[in-house]
Amino acid sequence: MSEQPLNHAPAAAPEEAAEATVTGSATGSTAADAPTATGSTAADLTADEAAALRAASFERARRLRQEPRFPGGPAADPAGSHHERRIRSFQPRRSRVTTGQQEALERLWPKWGLDIDGKRVLDLGELFDGLPVVLEIGFGMGEATAQMAAEDPGTGILAVDVHTPGQGNLLGLADRAGSTNVRVANGDAVILLREMLAPESLDGLRVYFPDPWPKARHHKRRLIQPEFLDLVAPVLKPGAIVHCATDWEPYAEQMLEVLTAHPRFENTAADGGYAPRPAFRPLTRFEGQGLDKGHVVHDLLFARV
């Protein structure tokens, strides 16, 4: 799943500079050499005073990390999830936000964006003007999502990711296509499923090309696990389709095994295996590149029972 935050870090703020005086710097100076706000050095402070200074610096840095990168745009850490100790299925990465993506975020986020803060249950009927709603987890740069939204305006797509450039790109693509059936959610999909969706409120779930975490020691980070399906099943309507796709053969095998074993899901493929790619799932540029390299893409379609 391609979940990644933002662009180049700005110059250090005063609060960040304060933290640097406590923790030392690359110049070889130490915390003991650094002057404090009172003009003394850390060596002059008592242990309690030094601990209090460090705590204040870390708190200021924490508040900075939580500030939105764009005024009125997606929050840096909407649910404070860095305090929640659990294995995560995504690896945040930083990349540059283009001028067009930034413009789309600033203009369209207040209208079509929402932060996954875990503080409320979403009214999907109100959010999507009564349309049936499909949740998509991990949309990358949003090209496939925008195409599916444009080709099926009667279905609402709640698209979740933490990649700020991708969020801006999807908003811009949907706007240019005249699509009004896309909402972009920023944050951890597990918190969304666990705390912000009403029972039987979704008409489907799409997970296309999530991070395969190929190393054996990282398999526990894969999204499609029994515990994840336990969260998904209650928020899906009976008959709703879970549609997964991957070009990583071992992950496809795990997906098939986990979905087949779960009592709340039933394979729609008559032979109990993989399904043909549905016409509504676009063939993306990255998928095409994988196919050119000999990768085999597997689709799985399971109905919630």
Q: What is the DSSP letter of 76?
A: S
244 contacts 300 by C-beta, under 8 angstroms: yes
CA distance 151 to 260: 30
Helical axes 14-23 vs 47-66, angle rounded to 10° = 140
128 contacts 119 by C-beta, under 8 angstroms: no
CA distance 187 to 114: 9
State how beta strands 298-304 and 265-267 pair: antiparallel
| The token pair that represents 90 in the structure block | 């995504």
Indicate if 48 belongs to the active site: no
CA distance 261 to 248: 20
State how beta strands 236-246 and 156-161 pair: unpaired
Cβ burial of 120 (10 Å; 0-12, 13-18, 19+) is: exposed
162 contacts 141 by C-beta, under 8 angstroms: no
Single out the catalytic residue among 77, 115, 188, 211. 211
| Burial letters 271-290, b for 16+ CB under 10 A, else e | eeebbeeeeebbebeebeeb
* Residues with catalytic roles: 211
